[in-house]
Amino acid sequence: MRAPFLVTVLAACLIAGSTLLAPATAETVVRFPGPQSQDDSRDAFLHDILRLALARTEAAHGPGRLELNPQRLSRNRVINLLLAGEQLNVAVAPADKALDDQFPSVRIPVFRGLLGYRVSLIRAESQDAFAKVENLQDLRQFRAGLLADWGIAKVFQHNDLPVVSASLDNYELLFDMLAAGRFDYFSRGVLEILPEFETHGPRLPNLTVEQALLIRAPLPLFFYVSPNHEALAQRLEDGMEALIADGTYHARWRDTFGGLLKQLNIEARRVIELDNPTLPEGVPVERAELWLDPLEEQAAR
C-alpha cells in the first residue's frame, strides 16, 4: 500500500526539482550605436525611450538593458554591423525603402516626424542673403554641408540642392567647415540645432542660427532591428505603444524638447518644401498621435 504513496512523492519532487532548475528568462541586450563625440547628445532621448520600452515589456519578455557601442560608426558601418547582429542589433535611421528591404522596423516615428523640419546654422554674415530666399530655386544658389550617407543628404540631392560632404565620416567636422566657409549652411533638425549651437557656438563665434527659413521634408525616423533579432522589433514596438498609450512617451518628449520650438519662431519662417523619393510605403501617417506639426501647433496657440 505504500508504493503508490512513494511514487506520488517522487513525482512531486521531480516536478519541483525541474521547476527550480528551469533557466530564468534570458536578458535582452539592445546594442545601439553610441554618440559620435563627448559633445554629441542627439540620441539621448532615443536612449531614454529604448530603456523605458524594455522596462515596460519586462513582465512579458524578461529583463532588458541598453548597451551603447563605443566606436564612432559611419552609416554604412552601422548597416553592416546591424546585418551581422552581434555588435549592434538596433539602430535608428530615416525611413527608407532600401532599409525596409533589409531590416525589420518599428514603424513609430521616434521624433514625431520633426527630423524633417530643418533650420540651418550659418555664418552670421550670411543672414541677409538667406533672408532674401523665397523658394527652392533661390535656395539652390547656396551650398549645404552634410555627411554623404545621411538620409537628408539624399533628399537634398534629389531636390537639386548642392551638397558639400566632409571628407571623413565626422559629424563634428561640419561645424568647423561651415565656420571656415567651405559651404554656406548646415541643415539641422529643429530638435537638434539649439543644443548644438549652445555647444559649438562659443568656440565658433561667427556661427549663428538662420532666422528666416524652415526647410521641410517627410523624414520620419524609425528604429531598425537586425534580421537576426527579429523578435526584438516586436518587443520594442509593444513597449513604445504602451508608452504612447499611457502618456509617458509624450510627457518625456515635452520634458526634453518642449521649449525648443518656441525659441525658433517656427510660425514666422518661410517654408521650403522638399520631396523625399526614398520614403517607403506603410508609414503610419493616419495615426495623428504619432506626429507633430510645429506649424499647426504654434498657429493654434
Please report, rounded to a whole number, the percentage of residues in the chain having pLDDT higher than 70: 90
The range of the structural domain enclosing residue 173 comes to: 114-216
Residue 209 shares a structural domain with residue 124: yes
Among residues 194, 216, 238, the one where a domain terminates is 216
Check whether 4 has a pLDDT greater than 70.
Answer: no
pLDDT digits (tens, 9 = 90+) for 110-161: 999 999 999 999 999 999 999 999 999 999 999 999 999 899 999 999 999 9
Work out the percent of the chain whose per-residue pLDDT is above 90: 75
CA 26 to chain centre: 27
If asked whether residues 197 and 121 sit together in one domain, one would say: yes
Name residue, grid cell 552601422: 78
DSSP-derived secondary structure for 79-93: HHHHHHTSS-SEEEE
Strand order through the sheet with 105-106: 90-94, 221-225, 105-106
* Residue closest to 278 by CA, chosen among 157, 189, 135: 157
The size of the chain, in residues, is: 301
Is 133 among the domain residues? yes
Domains in the chain, number: 2
The answer as to whether 8 is a domain residue is no
**CATH code of residue 133:** 3.40.190.10
Q: Three-state SS for 34?
A: coil
Q: Is residue 235 located within the same domain as residue 104?
A: yes
In whole angstroms, give the CA distance from residue 198 to residue 259: 14
